[in-house]
Chain A
Amino acid sequence: MATRLLIAEDEPSILESLVFILGREGYDIATARDGDDALSQLRTAPATDLLILDIMLPRRNGFEVLKAVRAEPALSGLPVLMLTAKGQARDRQMAEQMGADAFIAKPFSNQDVVRAVRGLAAP
C-alpha cells in the first residue's frame, strides 16, 4: 500500500505543483483547501503517513491545525511538514515548539520538497 500524504494548501497553483511532483514519486495524495477540511480528513480517512501543512489557511490556520493534531491521541504521532510562506524566524520557532517535524520555506525548490517528504515518509 502506497504511503499516504495529506496536503493542506489553499493556493490552487501551489497545490497543483505539489500534487504533481509528489504524485510522480509514487505517493498516494489527498488534498485539503482549508484547515477544517484537513482536520476532518485526518479524522475520517484511513491512516495518513504525513501531513504537509501550509500556515496561511482559511478558516483554521496551520498552527491551529497542528495544535489540534498534536492534542488528539490518535493523530499525535503524525509527522508534519510545514510550508512557511513567510519564512520568518518567528513562525518557524512557533511551529517547532508546537511539534512540527520539518519546514519548507516558500518559494521552494521541488528537489527540497521531495527530499524533505522522503525523510519523513518513504514512498
Chain B
Amino acid sequence: MTPAVEFALVAALGYVALLFAVAYWGDRRARIGRTGWLRSPLVYTLSISIYCTSWTFYGAVGSAARSGLEFATIYLGPTLVFVGWWVLLRKLVRIGRTQRITSIADLISSRFGKSEALGALVTLIAVAAATPYIALQLKAVTISYQVIAGVPLDHADFRAGFWVAVAMAAFTILFGTRNVDANERHHGVVAAIALEALVKLFALLAVGAFVVFGLFDGPGALFATAPPGFLQAEEVFGPRWVTLVGLSAAAILCLPRQFQVIVVENEDERHVATASWLFPAYLFLSSLFTLPIAVAGMTLLPSGADPDMYVLTLPLMADAEALALFVFLGGFSSATSMIIVSSIALSTMVSNHIVAPLALRLARERARTSGDVRRLLLTSRRIAIATLILLGFLYFRVSGASDALAAIGLIAFVGVAQFLPSLLGGLYWPQANRRGALWGLTAGFLMWMYTLGLPSLEDGGPLGADTLLHGPFGIALLRPQALFGLDGLDPLVHATFWSLAANALLFIAGSLSREPHPLEWLQARQFVDVFRGGADVGARERTRVQRIATSEELFILAQRILGAEPAQDLFDAFARRQGISAGLPMPTEDLIGDLERRLAGSVGAASARAMMAQVAGGEEVSFDELVSIADETARIMRYSQALERKSDELETAARQLREANAQLREIDRQKDDFLSQVSHEVRTPMTAIRSFSEILRTSPDLDSTQARRFVNIIHDESIRLTRLLDVILDLRVVERGEIPITLEPVDPDAVLDVALETCEGLRGEAPVRVVCGTRAGGARVEADPDRLRQVFINLLSNAVRHNDKDAVEITVKSRVRDGRYEAVIGDNGPGVPAEHRDRVFSIFSATWTKGGHKGAGLGLAISRGIMRRMGGDLTLDAGRPGQGARFRVTLPTTTEEPPP
C-alpha cells in the first residue's frame, strides 16, 4: 500500500468517525434542549443541499466537458422552484406541517383519501428509483477512492463501496431511527449533513479557485484555451434542455430525500423563505467553477482521462495532494449524506406504507394481539435501511463494471417525476381523486420502466437487446426508445414525454371518471384550501364523526406507537386541556382526532386511521365502516354548502309560513269569537222566551194585559231568533259564494234613493240628517236591484247604529268614473280603527254587538260578497281619524237601458 492509499483510507475513516461524533454531539445538544443553531434557517438550507450528490459533485464537470452548459439545468430547475417558493413550496410545507406528513408517499396517500394502496405504490416507485441511485453513490465513492489511491480503474474494487455501505447503514440506523415520529427532527443526522454540505461546497470552491487562479491566470485565460466551438452549440438549448430543467424542478420536490428535508423535517415555515434564496445561492456557488474545471481538464489532462473525475485528477496532476484529499472528502460527503437521508426517507415509507398495513392486517386476523407497534416500526425501519443500502451495494456489484450507472441520476429523476401530476393535482385540483392518482402513477411507472428503466440496463435487462432494437415480438411501433414511432428523440426526453404524458392524462381521466368519495373530498379541502381554513374542516369532521373508545384503549394504542413516556406526556397534556388534574382524559372525539394526527406523524395517515378504527371503533367497527361514517359526514357538509345558498329562499318561505300561520290563528280566534257571539245572540232571546213561558205556565193568576204583554215579548224574541237564523244562513251562502242573484240593467242612484227612504224608519232616539252630495245621475249598471238595496240599507243602518254622536249625519254621494259607478256613504261616527279595517268585512268579525247594538256585524261581510258577485266591490276608505267611516260601493257601468 502506498502512503497515499493509506492516507486516503485513514482520512475517510477519520471523516466517518467525525460524522459519528458530530451526530452524537447534535443529538446530545438536542436532548438537553440546546438546539439553538441546529434549528436555524442556515442548517435547514444546508440539509436541502443533499440534492447535490456525488453524481453532481463529480458528474457535473463530466457533463460540462461533454455538453457545455447542460450541467446547469440540474441546478436551474430547483432554483426556479425555490425562488417561486410562494407559489408551491410554501403550500407544500404548510400542508406537511398541518397534516403531519411523514413522506411523499404519505402526502399522496393522505391527500387521496388516506389510501393504503397509493402509499404502497409510491413507496414502490421511490424504492425502484432510489436503489440504483444509491448504487451510483457507492460507485462514485469507490472510483474516487481508486483514483486517489492510484488503483487502476480496469475493474472496480468493491471493498471501499462495501465498507462505506456498512458504515452508512450503521450511522443511519444509529442516528436516523431514534424516534418513531417521523416529524421529529433527527438533530444528529442534520448536524452531520450540514457539516457535509459545507465540506462539499468548500471542496468544490477550493478546487475551482485552485484551477482558475492556480493553474490559469483567471477565467479569461482559462476560457481562451477551450476547444473551438465549446459552449457555442445551439442544440444544447433544445428539448433536452427544457426537459432537464423541468425534471430537476420536479426532482427537488419529488425525490423522497428532498421531500424529507424540505417538508418533513421543516420546523418553521419562515425557514422556507430563507432557503428560497440561500439554497439557489448554494447551487450557484457549487456550480460556479464547474465549467472552468471542465475546460481545464480538457486542456491539461490527457484525452483519455474520465471527465467525471476531473475534479479529483486535476489537483492530483498538479501534485496538490492535500487539496485532492479534501476534494475526495467532499465527494465522499455528497455520497454519504445522500445515502443517509435517502435511506431514512425510504425506510419511513417502507415501514409506514408496506410493513404497517401488513402488520395491521395480520393483527386483525389474530384478534388484535399486535404488541409493541413502536418496536415493530423501528425494527422494520432499521431493517429497511440496511436492506436498501445493501440492495444499492448489490446493484452496484452487479452492474459496476458497465457504464450503465452513469445515467442513473437522470433516470431516477424521471422515475420520481411520476409523482408530480399527483402532487400538483393534489395541491391545486379538488376534483383529483384516488382513482386518477392510481391510474396516473401506475401508467407513469410502467412507461418509465419500459422506456427508460429497463433499456438502461445492460442489453435492455430482461427485455433483451432484440426488443430494444426491433420492439417486442418485432412490433416496431412498440420499440421502448421510439414508442409509437416517436423516433429521433433523446431517450431521456422520449421517456419523460411518454411517461409524464400517460401519467398526467390518466390522472386527469381517472379523476374525472367519478366523483371524489367524501373522504377524498374532505382531504382535498384540507390540502387545496390549506390557506383558507381548510385545516378547520378536519376539526368539524371530528365533531361529527362519533367514535367510541375508552381512554385506556387509546392510551394503550398511544403507548404501543409513541412509546410509554411520550404517550404519558401526551395524555397528561390532554387531561390538562380538559381540566382533569389526575388520571386519564375523557375519550372525546376531539382527543381521538388529535391522537390520530399524532399517530399519523409516526405511521402515516392511512395506517393511523386504520389503527384508530381498530380501537375507537370497537371490534365490530371495521375500517370501511369508519370511512363510511366520514363519507356521510362529508356528504352532509357538501350539502350544507348548497343549503347555505338556499337559506334565503328558506327564510322567505319560513316568513310566509309564519304569516300564514298568524293569519290562520287570527281566523281561528275570529271563529271562536263568532261562535261565542252567536251563542250569546241565540241565548238572549231564548232566555227571555223560556223565562216568560215558564211565568205563563206556572202563573194561572196573571191578568190578561200582563199575559198578552208577555206573549208579545215571546213573539218578538222568536222573530229575533228567526232573523238571527236567516243571517247565519245568509252567511253560509256568502261563504260558499251561493248568493242567488239575478242581474238586470238598473239605475243605481234610484236604488240608493229607495234605500234612503226605507231608512227613514231607522231614525230613533238620535236625530239623523242625510246630506246628499253630487249624484251620478242616469248611470246604468248590471245589478240585482233587491240585493243592491240590501247593501245600501246595511251601510246606512250601520252608519246610524255605530254612531256615538248625539246628532247623526250621513253623507251620500255618487258618480261615474272610468266606466265604474261609485257610491260613497259616510258618517260622522267614530270610524273604524286602522287595525280593524280588514276585520270589518270578515265573516267572523266580532264587531256586530259593539256598543250594545245587536245583529249588525255580519252585514258587511254579506254585503261585500253580494257586490263582488255582481262584478263590483265594497270597500272602506283609508282611515280619517275622528271623521267617521266612509264606505264605497262600486259597480261597472253598462249601456243597456233598464226595463221600463
Contact = CB atoms under 8 A, between A and B. Distances in A.
B851 interface: yes
B692 interface: yes
B694 A109 contact: yes
Which among B680, B687, B694, B695 has the greatest number of chain A C-beta atoms within 10 A?
B687
Q: How large is the interface on A (under 10, 10 to 19, 20 to 34, 35 or more residues)?
A: 20 to 34
B724 to A, nearest CB: 14
Contacts of A87: 683
A20 B692 CA distance: 9
Interface string B664-703: 0000000000001001100111111111101100110000
A17 B690 CA distance: 10
B900 interface: no
The main secondary structure of chain B at its interface with chain A is helix
Given A13-B713, A16-B713, A107 B680 contact: no
B852 A58 contact: yes
B572 interface: no
A86 B717 CA distance: 18
Contacts of B690: 107-109
Contact of A110 (B684, B685, B698, B717): B698
B695 A17 contact: yes
Nearest to A84: B683
Given A13-B713, A13-B717, A16-B713, A110 B691 contact: yes
Contacts of A110: 691, 694-695, 698
Contacts, number: 60
Contacts of B691: 14, 17-18, 21, 107-108, 110
Contact of A17 (B679, B680, B688, B698): B688
A85 interface: yes
A88 B676 contact: yes
Nearest to A20: B695
Contacts of A106: 683-684, 686-687
B680 A85 contact: yes
Interface string A65-100: 000000000000000000001111000000000000
B695 A107 contact: no
A11 interface: yes
Interface string A101-123: 00000111111000000000000
A107 B687 contact: yes
A33 B689 CA distance: 20
Nearest to B679: A86
Given A21-B695, A58-B852, A109-B694, A86 B713 contact: no
A115 B267 CA distance: 100
A17 B692 contact: yes
A52 to B, nearest CB: 13
Interface string B476-497: 0000000000000000000000
Size band of the interface chain B makes with A: 20 to 34
Nearest to B699: A24
A20 B690 CA distance: 14
B683 A107 contact: yes
Contacts of B684: 11, 14, 85, 106
Contacts of B851: 58
Contact of B683 (A24, A58, A85): A85
A3 B849 CA distance: 34
B680 A86 contact: yes
Contacts of A86: 676, 679-680, 683
Interface in A2-41: 10-11, 13-14, 16-18, 20-21, 24, 34
A56 interface: yes
Contacts of A85: 680, 683-684, 687
A11 B713 CA distance: 12
B718 to A, nearest CB: 11
A56 to B, nearest CB: 7
A87 B675 CA distance: 13
Nearest to A34: B852
Contacts of A17: 687-688, 691-692, 695, 713
B426 to A, nearest CB: 71
A108 B688 CA distance: 9
Contacts of A13: 685, 688, 692, 713, 716-717
Contact of B688 (A14, A24, A88, A109): A14
Given A58-B852, A86-B679, A107 B686 contact: yes
Nearest to A33: B852
A104 B852 CA distance: 21
Contacts of B687: 11, 14, 17, 85, 106-108
Interface string B444-483: 0000000000000000000000000000000000000000
Nearest to B689: A107
B852 A10 contact: yes
Nearest to A55: B680
A111 B686 CA distance: 16
Contacts of B688: 11, 13-14, 17
Nearest to B688: A13
B688 to A, nearest CB: 4
Contacts of A24: 699
A34 B851 CA distance: 11
A24 B706 CA distance: 13
A29 B717 CA distance: 24
Nearest to A11: B684
A12 B698 CA distance: 22
A34 B852 CA distance: 10
Interface string B732-750: 0000000000000000000
Instruction: Give the 3 A-B residue pairs with the shortest CB-CB distance, closest first.
Output: A13-B688, A17-B691, A107-B687
Given A13-B685, A110-B694, 13 more contacts: A13-B688, A13-B716, A13-B717, A14-B684, A58-B851, A58-B852, A85-B684, A86-B680, A88-B676, A106-B683, A107-B690, A110-B698, A111-B694
30 contacts: A11-B684, A13-B685, A13-B688, A13-B692, A14-B684, A14-B687, A14-B688, A14-B691, A17-B688, A17-B695, A17-B713, A21-B691, A24-B699, A56-B680, A58-B851, A58-B852, A85-B680, A85-B683, A85-B684, A85-B687, A86-B679, A86-B680, A86-B683, A106-B683, A107-B683, A108-B687, A109-B690, A110-B691, A110-B694, A110-B698
Interface of A: 10-11, 13-14, 16-18, 20-21, 24, 34, 56, 58, 85-88, 106-111
